[in-house]
């Protein structure tokens, strides 16, 4: 049965061993918690309150909810999860680690929060998302999520027909440029010292993509805070209204080091991700991972679906363990 909060614990969190603690309160974590709570599992969701898409005006590509502000979508999700008896709290996990298993070998974990609260759980669902690392270009970071975008499916329609500049970071930028060319006839590719082979140059020429090899010095803003253009090392200002960049994507695993989650490199130097198997399983017994931490390309809908699948798989694993304990 769902656990109830106890005022005797720090932060009013339940003192008993929970069926699951979900670390991360985005789409993946909340949908995983929803599946668990609807299966009458005791669940606590720890939400840091810093979702990847916080700067965005709306969530896109999500059927029937396209354009919904991210904060509104998450608030509705938290309300749905709580409706089934789960607890959602704002907090930062500073340590999650394996604990002594049960007498029959069922996994156990302790999760410590920054405010000193400690939770005990049989299973963990890690849905912490990822961190986008931007290239070190003066004036660039302040436009993130508005005049600076990264995903044509998340933001493409909103920047259609604008003069767009691609700030290259590596091989992935070539593919990104071709995707954004679908959305505008005015696209400039700033190589920024990266290699552009003959094949890519031929394709760019065929699609009318202008290539600029001069070093980028800074991003220049308009008086109202938008993007005015890109200043080159020779002093030239290339007017642009929108910039796009392939970020380096790194999973948020701070505080989770003791779990020993396996990570792997993404192709083309795009970053790293947590390596998972079917339904978010990992090499660590009792730990599942869902969402952008394991699949950096997943939009909100795909992250939510991955969380739901992981939650269902996690519940089935608990059912197996409960049955084995009953037999013992």
Token readout for 216 is 């980028």
Q: Spell out where 50-92 has E strands.
A: 87-90
Taken in order 96, 131, 272, 31, the sign of the CA dihedral is: positive
Taken in order 248, 251, 257, 259, the sign of the CA dihedral is: negative
Residues near 216 by Cβ (< 8 Å), separated by ≥ 6?
137, 167, 190, 192, 230, 231, 232, 233
pLDDT-derived band at 12 (thresholds 50, 70, 90) equals: low
Among left, alpha and beta (phi > 0; psi -120 to 50; other), residue 263 is beta
Among 100, 108, 113, CA closest to 45: 113
pLDDT value at 8 more than 90: no
Least confident of 5-9, 186-190, 258-262, 291-295: 5-9
Average pLDDT for 183-208: 97
Give the length of the chain: 328
pLDDT value at 6 more than 50: no
Among 32, 117, 100, CA closest to 109: 100
pLDDT digits (tens, 9 = 90+) for 52-65: 888 888 999 999 99
Percent pLDDT > 90 in the chain is: 91
- Concatenated DSSP letters for 223-277? TTSSEEEEEETTS-EEE-SEEEE--EEEE--TT-GGG---EEEPGGG-BEEE---
Matching residue, tokens 């200043």: 231
């Amino acid at each position: 049965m769902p656990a109830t909060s106890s005022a005797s614990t720090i932060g009013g969190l339940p003192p008993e061993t929970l069926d699951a603690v979900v670390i991360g309160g985005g789409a993946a974590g909340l949908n995983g918690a929803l599946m668990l709570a609807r299966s009458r599992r005791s669940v606590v969701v720890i939400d840091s309150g810093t979702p990847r898409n916080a700067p965005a005006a709306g969530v896109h590509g999500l059927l029937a909810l396209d354009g919904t502000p991210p904060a509104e979508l998450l608030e509705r999700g938290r309300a749905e999860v709580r409706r089934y008896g789960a607890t959602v709290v704002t907090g930062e996990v500073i340590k999650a680690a394996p604990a002594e298993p049960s007498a029959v070998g069922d996994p156990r974990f302790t999760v410590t929060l920054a405010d000193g609260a400690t939770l005990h759980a049989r299973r963990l669902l890690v849905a912490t998302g990822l961190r986008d690392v931007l290239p070190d270009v003066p004036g660039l970071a302040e436009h993130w999520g508005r005049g600076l975008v990264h995903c044509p499916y998340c933001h493409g329609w909103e920047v259609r027909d604008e003069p767009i500049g691609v700030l290259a970071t590596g091989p992935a930028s070539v593919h990104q440029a071709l995707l954004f060319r679908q959305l505008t006839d005015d696209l400039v590719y700033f190589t920024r010292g990266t290699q552009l082979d003959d094949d890519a140059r031929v394709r760019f020429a065929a699609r009318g993509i202008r290539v600029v090899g001069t070093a980028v010095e800074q991003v220049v803003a308009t008086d109202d805070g938008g993007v005015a253009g890109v200043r080159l090392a020779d002093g030239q200002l290339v007017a642009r209204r929108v910039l796009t960049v392939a970020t380096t994507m790194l999973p948020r695993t701070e505080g989770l080091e003791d779990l020993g989650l396996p990570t792997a490199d993404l192709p083309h130097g795009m970053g790293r991700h947590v390596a998972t198997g079917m339904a978010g399983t990992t090499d660590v017994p009792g730990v599942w991972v869902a969402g952008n931490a394991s699949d950096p390309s997943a939009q909100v809908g795909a992250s939510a679906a991955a969380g739901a699948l992981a939650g269902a798989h996690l519940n089935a694993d608990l059912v197996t363990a409960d049955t084995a304990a009953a037999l013992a």
